[in-house]
Amino acid sequence: MSDIAVRPQEWMEKISGLREHIGKVIVGQQEVVEQMLWCIFAGGHALLEGIPGLGKTMLVRTVSEALELSFSRIQFTPDLMPSDITGTNILSFGQHGDTGMTFQRGPLFSSIVLADEINRATPKTQSALLEAMQEKTVTVGGVTHQLPRPFFVLATQNPLENEGTYPLPEAQLDRFLLKIEVSYPSADELKEIVKRTTSSHEFQVERQMTGEELLEIQRGAKEVLVAEEILDYAVRLLMMTHPEEASAPEAVRKYVQFGSGPRGIQSIISVSKVRALCSGRMHVSTGDIRAVALAALRHRLFLNFEGQALGVTTDRVIQEVLQALEASA
């Protein structure tokens, strides 16, 4: 381990307090909140998919306020241009009539950026996020500008309305650490939503963690140990998503065109470390690997024509991979 002071119990309590505070604003969606926290403490970006009105925007805003981080919301539309989100050079005039170019920062220069309905913007605008997500920088006019630390892109998309949308290309999907499915609330949760949103009482979000404390936990998560057999388990899981592998289950060989690439296992391990830390452990277990597999891989498997025609989901395929993995263990 490095010389960082490892305090798993303290970090676990801070994360637990943050989770409980978010729960006072967001009704239900415990799994979504948990996966978003995994993603943030692993230092990655998240893609949230769900129908409108499920509280995706409210969740992201609540997290940013509880973490006391700067927040920007970008509503993606077909006419949005790359410079609208990254910023642009503008002509400025000095006191003595001299002129020069000044960089006007765009909304991307925030610690948490909500890219709302990201699949509604054109590929040209979508690609403007690639450098920011991977390098944490923005280059305009040949000059590279550093983005704030920490920096997260939390994007949303609606799975129902596909007319006039531009699906994210595989290379950009791969930049998201997790793809989080936001489900419809239960009857009891609907009642609680109505009570909270139609009353005069409004809960005030209070700061639970500073940006520096967040960065410290991110560094601490990297110190969580991964035993060789656990790493082998994760590698077998990833390899079984490839249809040409002899150990791949029938669903993979029949419906998958391309399995997950190396970023898949990087995501599984980094998120598993955070999940272990959330439990006060400094070592990853096979349970951590299984728990994060769906969110880490569902956007990294690409189905063939037969799979798409039959309505097979990548979640179903990954579940069969996990079952096959357990049977062979």
Give the Cα separation of 104 and 86 in Å (integer).
9
CB 177 within 8 A of CB 297: no
Q: For residue 240, is it left (φ>0), alpha (ψ between -120 and 50) or beta? A: alpha
4-211: CATH topology: Rossmann fold (3.40.50)
Domains 4-211 and 223-326 share a fold: no
| CB neighbour burial string for 228-237, b if at least 16 within 10 angstroms, e if fewer | eebeebbebb
CB 14 within 8 A of CB 213: yes
pLDDT digits (tens, 9 = 90+) for 256-289: 999 898 999 999 999 999 999 988 888 999 999 9
Q: Where are the domains of the chain?
A: 4-211, 223-326
Report pTM: 0.87
223-326: CATH topology: Helicase, Ruva Protein; domain 3 (1.10.8)
pLDDT digits (tens, 9 = 90+) for 289-326: 999 999 999 999 999 999 999 989 999 999 999 999 98
pLDDT digits (tens, 9 = 90+) for 65-118: 888 888 899 998 888 888 888 888 787 776 776 777 777 888 889 888 998 888
